[in-house]
Structure 1
Amino acid sequence: MTSRRIAFLDVDGTILDHGKTIARSTVEAVRGARAAGHYVYLSTGRAAGDIHPDVIKIGFDGAISNGGAYATVGDLSVVCDPMPRDAIEALITYMDASGLLYLLQTDTAVYASAQVQQTLEELMRSWVSSHSDEDSAQTAPQEVPRFRDVADIDLTQVAKAVFLSERTDAVERAQADLKDQFHVVAGSMPLPGGSNGEIGMRGTTKGSAILSVLTHLAIDPSAAISIGDSWNDVEMFEVCGVGIAMGNAPAALQKLADEVTTSVRDDGIWNAFCKHGLI
């Protein structure tokens, strides 16, 4: 076996085809790499409690969730960094004043108003319906997401916010308005128009959590590879020895990666793992 490597994999658009399917080759790649003695971690913007159970069933050595606010090594928590309450209160005030629809994530669940829940469920149904003829070599249909009522959230446990807007410039406006305290990136929801984004604390990213995991495991970043397709993956590209963009990632994001693999529907993880000797 070659020296032990560690891979960090985004979920939506990398493992999961935006809420619908998982390529069989992805399951085989992850399990094969782990059987060969390598580590494979999830690295997602989702809340841990919102990761599709069929993704979890693949089997991983740990997970980074909420865009870097939380991280586990096996069952051990190595990063637990929710937003300060005053920060989330200020953020909610900003989003309400800006007319943004938003949901809030804790480590265990996702919370949203009735209006946002209805909007997102309609979007997901539309997405699943428009992709109902996908190749039979794919598996794991995604159910319409279920949310908890935002009125029930404990504001001391919020790790991240996600917003939707009919404005096409909502992300750029939020980045300019919130840059001193928050990390704002474009989201990856398949919207028919407008824009969506993700908001975490400044300095809290997938990259920062990866460095914490690597320190805990005493693994040099040069032994790490990361694979993703979204703007919240940029920092993990930066800290890993090799940053790999999926073929379905935006062209501008692909330019920030060290290399590009094939798409989520075309064995992207399998091909990257083969190239780098994990399988």
Structure 2
Amino acid sequence: MDVDGGPPRLIALDVDGTLLKTGTPVSDRVVTAVRAAVATGTHIVVSTGRTMVTTRPVLEELGLVRGHAICSNGAVHIDIERADPVAVHHFDPAPAVTALRELFPEMIFTAERVGHGVWATGASPGEYYPGGEYLVVDDLTLGSEPTPRLNCWWPEGSTAEMRRLIDELAIPDISWVYGEFGPWLTISRHGISKGWALERLRGLLDIPRSATLAIGDGFNDREMFAWAGHSVAMANAPAELHDVVDEVTVDVTADGVAAVLERWF
């Protein structure tokens, strides 16, 4: 996409670390920029690792009442006006839970229950967003039903040690992505990603790839960056992500999303 040319027609925006600093509201400046884009007919697609339940408050803050949102790293596609998922891509979490439990006895798992909340094997700081039930269960129960997203947190571990231990771990039919900060994994069905889901949506909307824009800050945004006609990382993203995008904007606390959108809207 020519940043000096016409405006993008499909804009994918990550949430935590991008639209907002986790635990705080979206700033007035970012809300204004997003609403200005929507007013021109541009498709704003919130694209997040959050569950559908915990994404809804962000959609409300932005004033998005129709259109599409991509949740759970691409595994859940929702129709905002209907407030329902139009596509959910599940996988069996039991093999991953079993294999990871052997490596990490203290690991805490949270499995999404679409539209309701999560099942978890303990208290996890990765599920502190408002809304939805948080039901503590055992491993057997958590692995008994398909889920679109499995979060895995190693409370006493380090990111480097986690990566070393799972470097050669093979679990069929799943993909995982590391968290940016701390010993986290998020697991989805093999091949599912934000970029994959956004490409399906782009085809549905019949928008040329050259008219797409993506802004994010995490390792789960890699495929989204590769998908976009123009990709933008936040200044607060890990440094290695700065090397795979077309542009780096300012920090989330300095309204980096607005700084980009205000060029056109």
TM-score by length of 2: 0.83
CA distance in 2, matches of 1:228, 1:77: 23
Match of 1:65 among 55, 62, 71: 71
Match of 1:162 among 138, 142, 151: 151
Q: Could you tell me which residue of structure 2 aligns to residue 183 of structure 1? A: 175
State the percentage of identical aligned residues: 27
Q: How many residues are aligned here? A: 249
Deviates more, 1:61-70 or 1:169-178: 169-178
AA matched with 2:227:
V
Deviation at 1:55, TM superposition (A): 4.2
AA matched with 2:33:
A
Deviation at 1:50, TM superposition (A): 2.0
1:15 is paired with a residue of what secondary structure?
A: coil
Distance 1:175 1:258, change over 3 A: farther
TM-score by length of 1: 0.80
Q: Could you tell me which residue of structure 2 aligns to residue 128 of structure 1? A: none
Deviation at 1:69, TM superposition (A): 0.7
Checking the alignment, whether the CA contact within 8 Å between 2:70 and 2:194 is kept in structure 1 is yes
AA matched with 2:89:
D
Structure 2: runs of 5 or more not aligned:
1-5
Q: List per-residue Cα deviations over 1:197-244 (Å, max 9, x = no partner).
A: 211122100011001111111112221111100000000001110111
Aligned residue runs from structure 1 range 1-279, under 5 A: 2=6, 5-51=9-55, 53-60=57-64, 61-74=67-80, 75=82, 77-83=85-91, 85=92, 88-98=93-103, 99=105, 100-108=107-115, 109-113=117-121, 116-117=122-123, 119-120=124-125, 147-150=134-137, 155-165=144-154, 166-168=156-158, 169-178=161-170, 181-188=173-180, 195-275=183-263, 277=264, 279=265
Checking the alignment, whether the CA contact within 8 Å between 1:78 and 1:213 is kept in structure 2 is no
Checking the alignment, whether the CA contact within 8 Å between 2:17 and 2:217 is kept in structure 1 is yes
Distance 1:158 1:150, change over 3 A: farther
